[in-house]
Every structure is written in C-alpha cells, then in structure tokens.
Chains A and B, each alone.
Chain A
C-alpha cells in the first residue's frame, strides 16, 4: 500500500489537491483536538506523539507529491527544495533571524519601542551585577572546564590500564543522563545545612563528613565567592564523563607500536603520558575543551535551581533570564544575549576553519 503510493508513476493534479487538503485538515484538526484533550492526559500524550510525528511525515509526503506533479524541467530543483527546504527554513526562523532580531532589540528600551543607542551595552559591561556575572562565568570557564578535562584525561588514562574499565567508565558517565535540575536536587542534598547547636544532626553528606572530622558545619551555598566552586563542582560531576569518553576513544586510537617503542627506549609511565599520549590526542583535547568552554559560558540551570543567582553566584545566562522574564526588559536581555554570542564568535571562527580544512563538502 505504502510503496504503491510512493511509486505512483504520475501524480495527477486532482490527487495532489486532495492530498494537500487532507494534510491541512489533519494538521489543523489535530492541533485543535490536542488542545481539547487536556483533561485526559494519557490519551493526550498518545495522541500528541502520533499526531506530531505523523504530521511531520505527512508533510514531506505531500510536499514531495506536489514536487512530482510539476513539469519535468522544474522537478529536480523542486525535489531538492522539498528535501532541504524545511531544514533551511526552520534554521532561518529559529537561529538566523533571531540573531538579527535580538541584535536589533538590543538598541531599544525595555519594551522595544524607543531607540536608546548603546545604553543597554553600557549596562551589560558596567553594571555591578553584570561584572559579578562576568567574574563568575570566568571562574566557571577556567576552573570548570580545566577540572573536567584534566579529570576526564586522568580517568581515561587510568581506566585504560584497568580490568574493570567499562564499569568505572559507565558509572562516571552516568550523570550525563541526569538533568541539571535533577543534579541540583542531588547536590542540594549533599550541601544541606541544618544550622549549628547541640542535638542537631546534619543530614547533608558534606556537613556530616566535616563534623565527623571535628569541623564546623557550614551553609556551603551561602559562603560568598567559595560557593561558586561548590556550584562549579556540579558541572564537573555532570561533564567529566563526556570528556572522559571522548578522550578515552582517542587514547585507544594511539598505535600500540608507539607505546612499545617508547617502553623499549626506557621511558616510564609519566614520560609516555607527557611525550606521547598527550601530544597525540591534543586535537581531541582541544575539541573537548572548546565544547565544555561554550557549555560553561551558557550555563544556566544549575545556578537557577541552586541559588537563583543570589549570594554572589550569578552568571551571564541567568542574568539574561532575569532581565527578560522577571524584569521584562527586552533591551537589556538582548544586549546580554549578544554579548554571549560575541564571546563565542572566536569558537565559531575556529569551527568553520577546521571544517573547511577537512574539506567535508565535496
């Protein structure tokens, strides 16, 4: 049945018209129906999945039929448009145009009605809250990224020599499957603080350990400046697995003859590590570092859930959220988003350069 439809030799105009009408009916009817199903959750979920996926497939099928019904001369371009068009269109709508629109908004006031020139950028670079956010983002980028990469490298190298590599690796990798919000709860519980006094039993793991060794319990997330590091550790916990997996596969690609030759020449573990392993996997280390660097720059959820950006832990992306969605200042929020983009531009440049040098596109 399906192949019959797909292989239909010549698509008549009438058939295409009917198909277009049916497609529209399903798209609009399904949307209306979905909104009305709010009270029957299970049914709604099933319907949303089937209708959402089905509509996307149907759209392609219909568009292809339209393209096939066109005169032969236009057909090959029409088919290419059907295939590549939706992706290009969505990317323009979701990323390209928004970049320009956000740039435009950044020169206007809170509601977007009055031109204010560079005022929002003055705010973005001089406001004390923004300066604090810049400082903290710098901490995230420097300490977060380097800890992830160094730990990932360490575990990858050690794991390579261990018999139970797979178990170790998947346990360290596991947090990658956990949301930042979930991780926030996990670590809020580790950092939990009940206060000082007799008969207070600390239920947070960190304070329990500190008090067991005779220390004093601390409200870890409220200690200015240092609380940033307690938050950064959550990112390290989440992202080290990623660095480890990628670096580990690069280490496995090092020809064993190279290591053996070094060993024959009398090199010890450290020499091999610094003179062979690290230089060999340097491109991978750079890629991983770049990814985590971008990631830590845009980081939002951990700070949002753990401290809301209070107690000196604010970051740029959180301030963006606050400006736009709490204070309703589109101008300032847009300027912050543009600053984020500008910081990333060197990475973008590097990415494109590397992409061209690999000559992926024939």
Chain B
C-alpha cells in the first residue's frame, strides 16, 4: 500500500504538466492579441506584447555627462574600469548587471548606464485603439518610424450593431420554425411525414456552398441583396435541418398525456404548442439558440456573399481590415477583440447549455 501513494501523485504531476502545457498553447495566442489591443501603436512595432508582462531586462537607467577634461582618444577610466573609446562604445560591464556604454561620437561625452531591472509594470497602455477602430471618421496614429498616418476609421460600432440585427432574428426565426415543424413531425399525422423527415436528416450534411449561387440569384431577382432579411432567410435555411432534428429529438420525448388532456380541454394544436410545448422545451430551445447565435455571429461566408459591403457585420469588417491594413496591429487586435467580446460573453455565461446543444447534434450542414 505504501508504494501506491507516491506513484499516484507522480502521475498526477505528469497529467497536470501536460494539461497546463496544452492550456498554455491554447490561451496564450488570445492573450497576446488581448494585450496588444491595449498597447500604443508605436510600441507594438518595437517590442513583442510579452514585454508588457513584468520581467527582468537590461534597461537604460541614467545618462552620465562626462566632464570636458576627459580625453576621448586616450584610455578612459570610469567606475574603476579603464578602457579605450571603442571598448566603451561596445559597452563594459562594470559590476554585476551594471553596464556602461558611450553614447554617440567622441564629442558627445555621454555615457549611458544600463541595469538589469524588473520592468513591465509601468507599461504604456491605452484605450485609443478601441476608439480608433470603433470610429467612423478619420483616425490618425504614429507608425513605427514615427510617421503620422491618417486613415478612414473602421466604423466597428456600426458593424457590431449590424451583427446584432442579423444574429438575433437569425437565431429566433429558425428556432420558431423548427419548433413548429418538430412538433408536427412528432405528434401530428399528415401525408409524407416520414419521407420529409428523412429528407431533413439527409440535408444535415449538405455543404452550404452548394446553395449559395442559386440563392444569390433569387435574392438578386427579389431585390433582397444586402438586406438583413436576406441574411435571416439564408441562415434560417442553413440552420433548419439541425434545429428540426434536435428539437424533434426533444419534443418527441414529451409525454403524450399532456397533449391529450389539453385537447380534451378544448385547446387547439396552436394553443397547446404556445402554452405547453414551448415552455416545456426551454432547455432544448436555449441550447440550440446559443449554438445558432454563435454560428451566425461568427459566420463570414454567408455575410460576405449576401450582405457585401452594405450593412457590413463584424466578421466582414475584420476580414476587410486584415486585407487592407495587414500591418496595423493596433487596429487589427482591437477589432478582433471587439468581434469576440459578445460571443465570448455568451460562451462563458451559458457554457453549460452550449455544451448540451453541441452534444445533442454532432453534425451541422
């Protein structure tokens, strides 16, 4: 027995080490973007984002101005060390972690003192990147070389509003339609019930690429291109197979008795659906709602094709920034965070429902 205990602990350490390694790999890239989004545009080019974290580094602490009588051509003695000009220019470690280095030419007579110190506490953090990325007007900032750059703002505030206008109806409408259909398939008799339902299951795997060209033609013919309605319709179509399938699985398990007693009380199927089925199905509806919301919010392809530049959503706005301003990391990182903040809130807030929704349906078209 005695031998078993330390063995378990040892394996626990290995497990923890592997998990910590993976978690680090999984979170550090996001952390880097998050930190960078608060850094000054000039700082981003001159040092990695990790330099914001407290760490020990060799930094310049003071400058010493040497007296005029020192002869730069002869040997120079500073803090007990003697060396010639070129050696001082290279820099000499005079004591543990203290480096002296001649600055500029011989006439400058300035010596810089470098010391190993804890740095990163007083990092130059700012919210102006967010202001710049949200703004609709022009934005000025300084690039790596110190040039003033003026650009059109990215108008992310509008993009966020557009995303909301697209995502909420594109989440609720398919759920509403799917719930009605799931109820019909589970509890009603009508011709073609079985083949139609098998068709829905089959449609679960159809790639949406196949539908894009015909639907785009319809939207052009109907004058719907670039409208929110086109996005609602498209996302409803693409989300429906999974929604019907999942809600069917749930609604078909509700006990038959409650419907029967409702009918006996004179309720119509519509009343039963609104007053009984919907309230009883809240867990299934909620978990699919989160799933669909994240899917719509994060979608890029459908928005790119049906919305275009008109009513641009956050993913399109961000992708356009990557294309146009691939090196403006201060705008890109803050833009990326603007696009992630709402889905991350939904994710962390409603994680348990989301997981349930994922596990119920493992195929999405």
Seen from chain A, the residues whose Cβ lies within 8 Å of a Cβ on chain B are 3, 6-7, 31, 34-35, 41-42, 44-45, 48-49, 52-53, 56-57, 60-61, 64, 68, 76-77, 79-84, 86-88, 90-91, 93-99, 101-102, 105, 151, 154-155, 158-159, 161-162, 168, 170-182, 184-190, 192, 201-205, 208, 237, 240, 242, 245-246, 249, 269, 287-288, 290-291, 294-295, 297-298, 300-301, 304-305, 317, 320-321, 324-325, 330, 333-334, 336-338, 340-341, 344, 347-348, 351-352, 355, 360-362
Contacts and interface: CB of A to CB of B under 8 A. Distances in A.
Nearest to B234: A94
A206 to B, nearest CB: 10
Interface in B330-361: 332-333, 335-336, 339-340, 343-344, 346-348, 351, 355, 358-359
Given A86-B177, A95-B237, A325-B305, A174 B26 contact: yes
B269 interface: yes
Interface string B38-51: 00000011111110
Contacts, number: 361
B194 A182 contact: no
Main secondary structure of the interface of A (DSSP, over half): helix
Interface stretch (B53-61, B85-93, B109-117, B295-303): B295-303
B339 A181 contact: yes
A45 B160 CA distance: 10
Contacts of A102: 210-211, 213-214
Given A6-B270, A49-B165, A186 B50 contact: no
A321 B300 CA distance: 12
Contacts of A84: 180-181, 184-185, 188, 190, 193, 196
A190 B19 contact: no
Given A44-B161, A79-B270, 11 more contacts: A49-B164, A52-B173, A80-B189, A98-B210, A98-B215, A102-B214, A171-B27, A174-B348, A177-B343, A189-B36, A351-B204
B213 A334 contact: yes
Nearest to A56: B173
Given A172-B22, A177-B343, A190-B32, A203 B47 contact: yes
Contacts of B176: 53, 56-57, 60
A77 B193 CA distance: 12
B362 A287 contact: yes
20 contacts: A34-B228, A44-B165, A61-B270, A80-B184, A81-B190, A91-B241, A96-B199, A98-B215, A177-B340, A192-B329, A245-B359, A287-B362, A300-B209, A301-B301, A324-B213, A341-B206, A348-B205, A352-B202, A360-B249, A362-B252
